[in-house]
Structure 1
Amino acid sequence: MTISTTVGAISTLLGTMIPILSAYLPVLTLFFAAIRSWRSALLAGFAALLVSPAQATFSEAIDGVFEQFTSVVSGIGAQGPGYVLTRWDLFWVVLYALAWVGVGLALQKWPPSGYAFYFLEPEEEPEEKRGGSSGAAVFAKALLSLTLFVGGSFAFMFVQHAYAMTFNLTHLSHTARLPWMPPEEITVENNASEDDESENEETTRQVAYVLSVSEEWTVLLDEESRTISYVPSSEVTERRVCELPATTTAHDPPLIKLKGAERPNLDDCEVENHNM
């Protein structure tokens, strides 16, 4: 609320959602694919390839998927279907597969009306053809469903290997706590007033986020206490962008790196509030 009163509610809302959205775009892609919202899935997936931080390269993630898949097939062949229950790394894959099948059955019973659920706008069928389907059409629909099911399972395993995401409240709250501006080491020289005969100058340095800058005031959000302070701009003598150790994984490169988009090498934010 304090930030929103300083920089505006819209900027605060967008700035809070941007870090979460970029980190969890792969999850949104899987969600849209599960509910067969293909246009949204393509948009979220393309954005994830460009902006979501990845902990593995594209080839490493593909190799991990095939290794996981082949180990499951060999395990089932040796120990039977019950082998799947011993693989805890497949827990979320199985849940996603069940959700995929459940949503598919629900959509067959209650077809969606939104065009976002189709790659192309479906054509209206004549009323005389709506009564039933031929055997070839049923087989083609079953084959398509199986293909999509296998593709969805591979996509989930790919996300598991490419993106190290966690869904505990601590991680989510930490991600939401990060502002959309970079942390900086701010050096402030508190000049003595004209009435102060001591003529002492006190220099302070703090890790903070710069919310706004004007000729008169610089508005700072302190990293540790999350308090907002108004500092005369004339007293801000140095600003240096730094990196918090807890946020280094958030700056991992995406799977597709655009040419010339290199991550700068930043020093850690080692200086906390103290007087100099």
Structure 2
Amino acid sequence: MQSVVAMRDKQLSKVMVTGAGGQLGSALCSSAPSSIEVCALTRSECDICDPAAVAAALDKQRPELLINAAAYTAVDRAEEESAAAFAANAEAPGILSRACAQRGIRFFHVSTDFVFDGLSSSPYAVDAQTSPLGVYGHSKQAGEQATLESGADALILRTGWVYSHDGQNFMRTMLRLHESHDEISVVSDQVGTPTDALSLAGALWAAAHRRGLSGIYHWSDAGVCSWYDFAVAIGEEAKAQGLLSKVAVVKPIRTQDYPTPAQRPAYSVLDKTRSWLDLEIPPTHWRSQLRAVLTRLKEADHA
């Protein structure tokens, strides 16, 4: 991995985005630089688990870069649907990256903080030992490995706790619960960093313009919180912006008090130091980004 700021690539003109229907894919498409033509492919438009379909799409569109924003992200359901999780998160990145390698196309793959076991007490460096706890994390780890072994000019960007003003995510769920309940219980012993999908898209576009970057990078917004802290902040910030008529009392609980099929890392904070340097993007605290996301939600509701 290059550890110095890479030269900007001014020649990039066409990028393909898979998973364009998801919250990250949508953010990538809406925030693309005006100089770049984006070929946005949803699941129905290209089956990324089908090598022939991937080859046909690449040969037709001839992008200079493919950003894979597609993933199986249902962490708990993955415990029962491991085949589906591995198909989307492990096999598909291998198919995509190998196809890119054969055509000289650069490849970006988005991975997760769930490749770590959460036993660390300090932010995970990009070269920290991975040790996933569940099917979802194992499938994403396998996708990373397939990408690294493909021979493609590839960059893997790990992230976590992604949310947006649209789609299904923790923020939207909390807004609904704040409005409909007087009290809600949220785990307080799982710690990480919320990531605005548009912030993540911005990091990927910054990397796209830096031809020399490859290997594994980390990205989330700055700061640290628990799911409990995030839920409290969502209520406070949404109320301040007039998106909520009231705020529920948020009760902190332990993970063991809210059992789920999949075990989650207790600590999944990522070290973004190298990303902030190489991408030339100053860190922005997650709470500032939360305000921005809620503002976009308010504007969308009034549109």
| Common topology (TM > 0.5) | no
| TM-score, scaled relative to structure 1 | 0.21
Considering fraction of residues, name the structure with more helix: 1
| TM-score, scaled relative to structure 2 | 0.19
